[in-house]
Amino acid sequence: MNIIESAGLGKRYRRTWALRDCTLGIPAGHVVALVGPNGAGKTTLLNMAVGLAVPTAGTVTVLGGLPAGSPDALDRIAFVAQDAPLYKNLPVADMLHVARNLNRRWDHQRAQARLAELGIPLNKKVGHLSGGQKARSSRSPWPWPGVPTCSSWTSRWPRSTRWPGTTSSRP
Using the predicted structure, report yes or no on whether residue 149 has a pLDDT greater than 70: no
Q: What are phi and psi of 2, to 5 degrees?
A: -95, 135
pTM for the model: 0.61
Number of domains in the chain: 1
Residue 78 located in a structural domain: yes
Residue 168 located in a structural domain: no
pLDDT digits (tens, 9 = 90+) for 67-105: 998 888 887 877 766 666 677 888 888 888 887 777 777
Residue 162 located in a structural domain: no
Domain range enclosing 121: 2-156
Q: How far apart are CA 139 and CA 48, in angstroms?
A: 20
Q: Could you tell me the maximum CA-CA distance found in the chain, to the nearest angstrom?
A: 48
pLDDT class of 163 with cuts at 50, 70, 90: very low
Residue 46 located in a structural domain: yes
Residue 61 located in a structural domain: yes
Residue 95 located in a structural domain: yes
Using the predicted structure, report yes or no on whether residue 156 has a pLDDT greater than 90: no
CATH code for the domain in which residue 131 is found: 3.40.50.300
Residue 104 located in a structural domain: yes
HSE-CB of 116 using CA atoms within 13 angstroms: 6
Residue 161 located in a structural domain: no
> Hey, what amino acid is at 120?
I
Handedness of CA 22, 163, 99, 129 (dihedral sign): negative
